[in-house]
Amino acid sequence: MHNDRNDIEALLQTYFDGVYEDDSRKLRQVFHECSHLFTVTDGRLIDVSRDDWLETMGPRPFAEAQGLPRHDWVITVDQSGPTTAWAKVSCQLPPRYFTDYLTLVKPVDGWRIVSKTYRTEIKE
């Protein structure tokens, strides 16, 4: 599973790069096509498909273009077997600060994120 850990860490780095650079190509690479993103807003569960999320990218100013500082890191990774894992990560796109729980699976084409459950904190 040592190689798996390296592959998972590489996937997470691509995820961080994609978020910071607002690069839908990189994010499409790490998120499985059937993946969903979940959060709670105003007490309501929000469920967004990968493709719907990626459609929102581009028109907004993104972190890299604004010269915002980059702070992203892996808090923990737990791999339960050769095809399943999850990661808790943190990334910051000021004024938004995220904690993400990423569920990963490893089909034949390699590790992919199948769900992202996240919390956003706004700091002015």
For 47, the token pair is 């469920």
Structure pTM? 0.90
CATH number at residue 20: 3.10.450.50
List of residues 6+ apart from 58 with CB closer than 8 A: 22, 24
Q: Is pLDDT of 59 > 70?
A: no
- pLDDT tens sequence across 8-34: 999 999 999 998 888 899 999 999 999
* Most confident residue range from 22-26, 56-60, 103-107, 120-124: 103-107
Using an 8 Å Cβ cutoff, are 32 and 119 in contact? no
Is the pLDDT at 107 greater than 90, yes or no?
Answer: yes
CA–CA separation, 103 and 35 (whole Å): 10
Give the Cβ contact number of residue 118 at 10 Å: 15
**Residue with the two structure tokens 């993946």:** 35
| Single-letter code of the amino acid located at 119 | R
Q: Residue 31: give the domain boundaries.
A: 2-122
Number of domains, the chain: 1
Q: How confident is the model at residue 1 (pLDDT cuts 50, 70, 90)?
A: low
